[in-house]
Structure 1
Amino acid sequence: MIVDHGSTLRFWGFIYENLPSDSSLTNAFMKWYDPDRDIGYWAEKDLNKMIERVKWSLKQNKPVIIISHSEGNFFYRSIHKALVQWDAEKTQQCFAGVGIATPLSSKFGNYTYITSSNDKIINMARRLWGSTLNSNITIPDGFGGFLGHALQKTYLSHADSRRRLKNDIEWHANRLIQRCRGKGKSSVKGKRSVKGKSSIKGKTCGQPVAKAGGKGNHRYTYALKHTSPHKVEISFEAYNVPDNIKITANGKTIAKTDGLVKGFHQWEIDYDPKKHGTKFIAHIDAPKGGTAWKLCIDCEGSSCNGQIQRKKIGYSFSGAESTDYWTCSNYRIDGSPVQRWGTKKLSVGKHSFSANCWCKWGVSAGLCKSF
């Protein structure tokens, strides 16, 4: 029972005309491509039931973790939106989600996810609109089927994804039980010291360091009071003048850039108190004049999302003669691998775009030169 909300039929007509017919790839893709407009009557009724069941649990101070696969992540997003409108504080304290093979473009609330770099469904979505969350695990290509997208045959059958799922659930559970059942919130204040022009004290996790850091060698210490296993997200924006950052824990490097770099960089660390101790130390080397940078470390389940502002742009590596003369690969923006075309969030300023291209077989040297 399809609910048509406007131009949906024309949209699906275009999809049917341009994608291969009767293929498992096409059919799987069409199941969730446009869920917000074409979710269907019964699916909407199911969604409302889910929202009410979660509300009932939260009213009883019972934590809820939703584990969603593929299109189910859109349901998680809709449930989270409804809960925030109902009681934002209760939602933050008692509700979380773990997404598997997620097509979402950003994280909503207490949300972690697992997406394989060889998931062909999600990779196709990323090529088409370019805004899905980055892959964070690699399951061997073809494991559990050609598409690498199945919940049971792929994600729940591979040891690495099962281990990550177990860690995500345990992290959310420990955190929600503490917050939801009235044992106190786990927001943490830490002290940070800087060698150089400025010093910053009393910043909480999830807040950026300075409006824009400047030239010099800087050092920040993040004390972690929530020392059960959980995830720590590190976001570093170097803008268009290159800087270098290294994060250490217990004297060992856990994240770093490859020398001086431009642009936006992000890492996700599976924090283990036995391995990492109780503090992270950020070392920033900004040797060039006119530099600006920003650092945000989400070390207590807060969120750096939106703290470091970037703009969404569309890009395409193309040329009038490229398909005739050259074969290209290794497309990169600011040194990071990307697809040949798509969309990407970039900071305001200058960026580097590169590719490796070589002459096609049979093209004369006068018409083509590898680069």
Structure 2
Amino acid sequence: MKLLQQTIEKIEGLDQEMVVKARARVDSLIKPPKSLGKLEGLAIQLAGITGKLYPEIDQKAVIVMAGDHGVYEEGVTSNPQEVTFAQTLNFAKGLTGVCVIGKVTGAKIVAVDVGIKGEIPSDAGVIIKKIKNGTDNMAKGPAMTREEAIKSIEVGIEIAHEEINKGVNLLGTGEMGICNTTPSTAILSVLKNCDPLEITGRGAGLGTGGIEHKAAVIRKAIEINKPDCKDGIDVLAKIGGLEIGGMAGVMLAAAANRIPVVIDGYISTISALIAARIEPKAKEYFITSHASLEPGGKIASELLGIEPMLHMDMCLGEGSGAALAFPIIEAACSMMKNMPTFEDVGMEI
């Protein structure tokens, strides 16, 4: 809890003086007003985050948190749980979706075992920060203890700090965990105060009971555990996931270190909601990448209050959407640094 508390205490709002300067520069660039749309707002946000009129984004990393879920035993997915283990090894080999997309901008992919069922080999290229072998079955009791939930957040903080200390100045969040749309939807149901059936989707593959069964399992988990919607850690502990906590930690650490952090799709957005519930100011450092095809994705983004940049009908997870958004963020930086103002080129407006 000490690391989490120290991180929260370091989080401040954006540099408002730099925001004003950045807005003035954007408005004076050689283009019609607002003609570069969301790129302009992104450039201003980056200036406010970094405190620099010309933000530099030259070292990028997507931190992929991996963990399993006890609720798997309720038959909410058709995919074997062993896929979490196998796919996590593939991150280290550079074979997954986020890996090949990340290559476009030279992004580093950092795979972390925060709670996989089974033992990842120590030489596999995966960072081992295992808290437990998957969460407990939330349909029968809390997914984890409050202490374990805090520890999962602190794992994310630790890994983010390690990457920032290596020079990383743009972070992305990703995850791997078979059936993790189930705890994600449970969290959203609690925070939105809606029935699970309204927001439950297929995930990577439905179990034989279909949407109705998956929603019923989520409803049961909420009724049994009674998470406090005002306490993000309580919600995470009772109906969440270790990788969800890990990503929230990455986001909080990014905010504490004035580093922009790119949120991936549905599950990452749920982590962002948890992080923002823990410390609302952290949200100012979030950049949402894409609108997930999951039914709860749009609602989660609306609840977070940040509109995603991309609409690509993606729902892979892994941080794939975050990696896809990296070039847009670099373009915003290039606009600020390399595009002249009307005054620079001697034009009157």
TM-score, normalization by structure 2: 0.27
Q: Which of the pair is proportionally richer in strand?
A: 1
TM-score normalised according to structure 1 size: 0.26
